[in-house]
Structure formats: structure tokens, C-alpha cells
Amino acid sequence: MAGETNREVLGLKPKGDLIREAEERPLQGSPDPALLAMTPAGLMKGDKCEEQGPDPKASSPEQPTEEEEEEEEALIEFYRSYRDLFQFFCNNTTIHGAIRLVCSQHNRMKTAFWAVLWLCTFGMMYWQFGLLFEEYFSYPVSLNINLNSDKLVFPAITVCTLNPYRYTQIKGELEELDRITEQTLFDLYKYNSSSTLGAHRRGRRDLREILSPPLQRLRDPALPAAARRARSAASSLRDNNPQVNWKDWKIGFKLCNQNKSDCFYQTYSSGVDAVREWYRFHYINILSRLPDSFTSLEEDKLGNFIFNCRFNQVSCNEANYSHFHHPIYGNCYTFNGENNSNLWMSSMPGIDNGLSLTLRTEQNDFIPLLSTVTGARVTVHGQDEPAFMDDGGFNLRPGVETSISMRKETLDRLGGDYGDCTNNGSDVPVKNLYPSKYTQQVCIHSCFQESMVKECGCAYIFYPRPKHVEYCDYRKHDSWGYCYYKLQDAFSSDRLGCFTKCRKPCSVTSYQLSAGYSRWPSVTSQDWVFQMLSLQNNYTIKNKRNGVAKLNIFFKELNYKTNSESPSVTMVTLLSNLGSQWSLWFGSSVLSVVEMAEFIFDLMAITFLMLLRRFRSRYWSPGRGGRGAQEVASAPASSLPSCFCPQPPSPTSLPPSPHTSPALTAPPPAYASLGPCPGPPSLAGASASAFTPGEP
């Protein structure tokens, strides 16, 4: 009986049964010890402690009022334990397999199996989630290729003469350089130019004092002496004429810094390359001293270089081209550039609907030690891009008709997190020195020029110079050659960081070129062609075939390819993949995810309330010791709620049952110090005597 009474006191019976028992026992005339022990500590939500009088109507059960029903249904309620929460979730969730965790609770093996299966399924799903998020945050891109067909804007075409100056006009500035170069060729290779050296005979010692650094022959240190002797012996046995084997030597010139503390040799295995580079190095110093007006030579006139120009069967005029001078490639003409009033449009493909040029390629007045090729230099570029003749140009051969077919391609890259590109170069830490839009080549050349100005104190003449900066000249900057070649080596190995700083543009337009060649003019037609050129353009060259070339540039087809990047995994794709994985492993939807979130929220709320209850019971409970008892005893009875007032027993109540446990007949210690509850005068004594401290 004591065990059953304890179960009732601990609240294992339904709340309604306890209330009905408490209401029925006063009618029998004996108080229920369990009810006295439960009151007020065992009361649930909605129970009230009321005084009971001798009125027999009080013994009848009362119906709950509307206020009590509203109190039972609160706005937010939480479960009493984790077990209740978990059982409710498993019984009501739409996630597959969750109900197996509670319906098999009487079979531990099944419960353990489904619990392990559930955890493994969750682990696999979230592993897949991790892979999907990793792919999304790697920002992959897809390349989309589209073929379009429309009228196309004809690109800009730049043609150069391959000869910077007429030798007769610049001979005075190059006289000493040519004389020293010819003397050097005689000393190194026994090459004699009698026409030049006969007119200007000077000693080698005097020439060395004029021009520094001199070109000299250096023994190759990489080849052992024994190998050189064996090669020399083999050569003497073969032709019985011992000669110098030039493979054992290298040609170069010495460069030193300003205080001569560090020097190195700029060497070449080919004598032609060494002489040309050495001549070009000194030629740059001479160019830096020439005035800007010196570039206006007779080739400024279009007719002196281009005999014929037609686009789309219509002759060109001066409004269709612009002129500029290149230090190496000479006079250059850009057709259909940004200065053209009306850009050329191609509405039909084919050779008859493009640009056709007849060029003069004679080399009678070329600078012999600088211009070692003949013909013309051509490059195709956009209207808002500079013409980089070194990077993307090609040469035309004299006496040949060159036909170039083009195909347009565009590339649109994604910037930001998807790729390292720039829209207009404003976010690139390199100042654009060219009067054009941003391109990667523009940025690289500007970066090298900035490094040249910073390290060497002067500007390289082949690139635009910043304001208030002079071009390099060894008369003013005696160590600029040493600095330039050191900087060139660092630039090639990307130690300057130019290739890292200069990012690719997000939008690029390029032209794919295909070339075809044929002999022009033919043997049967060359007589009348040269006759017409001589009458119309004063063409009086003896070797006529080597003095002309023809160029045709046209679109192969009007279909152009557009390559565009797009995100491979968008937010919509990510959510779709996540939903697919969730449905695969649990067969659920978005609402199931909300149920899971609600379960986690309730779990956290119950944990918080349990911690709060433990904190309050530890620090604010009246029964925490002598100090708590004094605090409760000192509190006035009027400040206590009415439910803490125990009801006195009825005069007609029966004595305690002998079967009742003595532990349950004792009132809670917390109520020992409470004053008498206000009631009828006739019951005051009974109430006081029923709760006297120390009563068994």
C-alpha cells in the first residue's frame, strides 16, 4: 500500500482522478493523507486551493469555468521531458522511418537497428550536403558556345614598312655607329665593306673610345678545353686547312652598373643576332636624341607606300586611315581605326568584300644593319586597341599575294568569385600608359615601363613614356643598358609580378586568321601589271617583283562564335540538389525540414527551462536550509498565495487509516512556519492543532 500511495503522490495517476478523489473523500468524513501531502506542492496547472465549509454543496464536483479552460490551453507550451518530446516527434513527423524508433520500443533489437540505420542515413545525407556545398563555394563555371550570324564590323588593319627611316635621311646620325659596326665585323669575322671603310678609315683604338660598350668575341666556358682541341684536330684532318671553329666562341658585349662594381656579358651564340642586338642597343640611344618632328618623312604620304587600296570594291581615301611612326617598323598606317568617321561593315563574306592593298616593298634605302628583312608588317586588332606589331603581327613576302581569311570570336568571362578578370582595368594596380582601353598586353607593357622608370630612371623608347620622364640615353644614363637587361630577365621570369598584376579582361574579341599564298603577278601578266604601276605610281625599280606585294583580308564567313561563361551551380541548382538528397534518404519535403527545426527548437527550450528550474531551486527555493526557513517564516501570511493554505479537516472526518504510511501523514516541512489560514472561528483551533510542528 505504501508503494501505491507513493505512485499517487508522485503524479503517475491522471490529474482528473486525483481531483475526483480529493473531492469525494471529504464527503466520507475523513481527510485523505495523500491529498494533504500533495497540497500545495503536488498541484498541477489549473488547480486552485479553496476553503471548504460545512456547506454540503461544496462536496459536489464543480464544472471547469471558461477561464480555467483558457488557462489549460496556453499560447506556448513545452513538453515535460525529453521522452515526451521525442515520442511526439516520432509519432507525428513526416520523415520516413522515424516512427520505427517508438513503435519497436518493446523490441530492443529492432529499436537499436532502426536507430543505427537512422543515424547512418543522416550521416550519408549530410556528407552529400557537404560535397554539394563544397562544389557550390568553389564557384565552377560552364562554357556556353553560341553561333551567331549578322553583319560584322570590319576590324582595324595596321600595315608598316619594316624600315624606320630612309637611310639617306638619318645617315648623319648613324654615321659613327655604322663605321664602328663595320670595323667590328672586320675584326671578328674578317668581313670587309670597302665602300664604307674606304671612305672613313680610322683606327680601331679611336673608335673604341667613341662608342661603349664594344662588341667582342668571348670563349664559351661551357665547352672543356679537351673538347675544343679534339674538335680543332678533327677539322684540320678533314680539310687540311686549320680554321677557327666559331662554335667554341660567343659574341657579346659587357654591361656594368653605375659604379662598375657589378658587370655581366650579354652574349649570343649567333653572330647575326649579336651584331643586330648590339646595333639596336646603340640605335635606341640615337633615337632618344632625335626631335619628335624627325618622324615626318616622305612615307607619311599614303601613295608612297600603298599603291592601291580598296574595301568592298570601293577605293579608300584619307579619312579611312591614320598614320603613326614605330621606332623599328617605321611608318605605319591603320585602316578602319577609331579615328575613321564611318566604320567599315561587312555584309558578305569572301575576298571581294574585304580589304585589298597593293604595297611597295623595295629595300633600296633600308638601314642595312637594322632592317634585315624585306616586305611589310601587318596586324589585325580592334578599333579601341593599340597595334602591337611585335606581339601579333606577321610579315608579307614581296612578289606574293597573301590572302588572310578571318573568323571572329568573342569571349565573356565571369568576374568576381568565378574568375580573376577585370571589366575596365580600374581595379588593376598598374597605370595605363596607352590612350586605349584596357587589354592584358597594354597592362604588361605599362607595368614594364613603370619598372623601367623606377629602377633605371628613364623610359624605354618602344613603350609610351610617363610625363616628365626622359627616354634612355647612355650619355645621360650611362648604366641604363645594365639595368634594362637585368630588368628584362626579371620580367621574363615574372619576378616583377607584371603577369600576376595584369589580369585578363572579362570581355575579349579576337580574330582567328588563316593565310594563303600565291605568286603575284603571274609570269604572263607581270608585264602589263608593272607597266600600269610605273605609269600611275612612278614605279621605276629594276627588280620589279621584289618591290611589290599584295594583301587581301576578308571574313571567311559571317558566322561568329560567342563563348560565354555561366555559373555551373547556382542557388536554384544547389537547393534542387539538396532537396534531391533529402528525398533520396528520407523521402521528405521542405515541411519535414521545418519539423526537424521545430524539434531542435523544442529540445533547446526544454533544456533551457530545466537549467532555469535547477538554478531557481538551488538559489531561490524556500527549503534550502535554515536561512530559507527564516525567510519564509518572516514573510507575512497575506503575501502568500491562497493555494499554499491547507484546508482544515472537517469535524466529522474519520481518524487516519491504520494502513496509511506515516511518511505520508506528515505535512511538508516548508509549511510548518506558515500562519493559520483565515477561516471560520470555529475551525481556527482545529486548523492550528492539525499543523502543529512536531506532531507525529
What percent of the chain stands above pLDDT 90? 25
Q: φ and ψ at 80, to 5 degrees?
A: -75, -25
Per-residue pLDDT at 76? 67
The pLDDT tens digits of the residues spanning 573-620 come to 999 999 889 888 888 788 888 888 888 898 898 888 888 888 888 877
DSSP code at position 661: -
Whether 37 contacts 668, CB under 8 Å: yes
Regions of the chain short of the pLDDT cut 70? 1-77, 104-105, 193-212, 219-249, 292-303, 538-543, 621-696
Please report the DSSP string for 514-531 in residue order: EEEEEESS-TTTHHHHHH
Cell numbers standing for residue 557: 564567313
Please report where in the chains the cell 493554505 appears, as a residue.
645
- What does each C-alpha distance from 130 to 193, 569, 597 come to in angstroms? 78, 14, 19
**pLDDT of amino acid 41:** 38
At 216 the pLDDT is 78
Q: What does the block give as the cell for 525?
A: 601578266
Rounded Cα gap, residues 27 and 36, in angstroms: 15
pLDDT tens string 242-257: 344 545 567 888 888 8
Separation of CA 422 from chain center: 11
Return d(Cα 434, Cα 464) in angstroms, integer: 7
Please state the pTM of the whole predicted model. 0.66
Nearest Cα residue to 691 out of 650, 647, 631: 647
Taking CA atoms, 313 is separated from 159, 226, 561, in Å, by 20, 69, 27
Element (H, E) at 377: strand 376-381
Cis bond leading into 54, ω under 30°? no
Q: What is the pLDDT of residue 120?
A: 92
Q: What is the pLDDT of residue 136?
A: 94
d(CA 296, CA 129): 70
Residue 168 one-letter amino acid: T
- Please report the pLDDT score of residue 425 as a whole number: 87
Alpha-carbon span 353 to 348, nearest angstrom = 6
Give pLDDT, residue 222. Answer: 52
The DSSP-derived string for 293-354 is GGG--GGGSGGGTEEEEEETTEE--GGGEEEEEETTTEEEEEET-TT-SS--EESS-SGGGS
User: pLDDT at position 122, please?
Assistant: 87
DSSP calls for 21-44: HHHHHHHHTS--HHHHHHTTTT--
Of residues 76, 52, 47, the one with CA closest to residue 64: 47
Query: Which region, left, alpha or beta, applies to residue 330 given φ > 0 means left and ψ of -120 to 50 means alpha?
Result: left
CB count within 10 Å of CB 58 equals 14
**Distance, C-alpha 303 to centroid of its chain:** 51
- How big is the chain by its Cα radius of gyration, in Å? 51
| Distance in angstroms (rounded) separating the CA atoms of residues 402 and 548 | 12
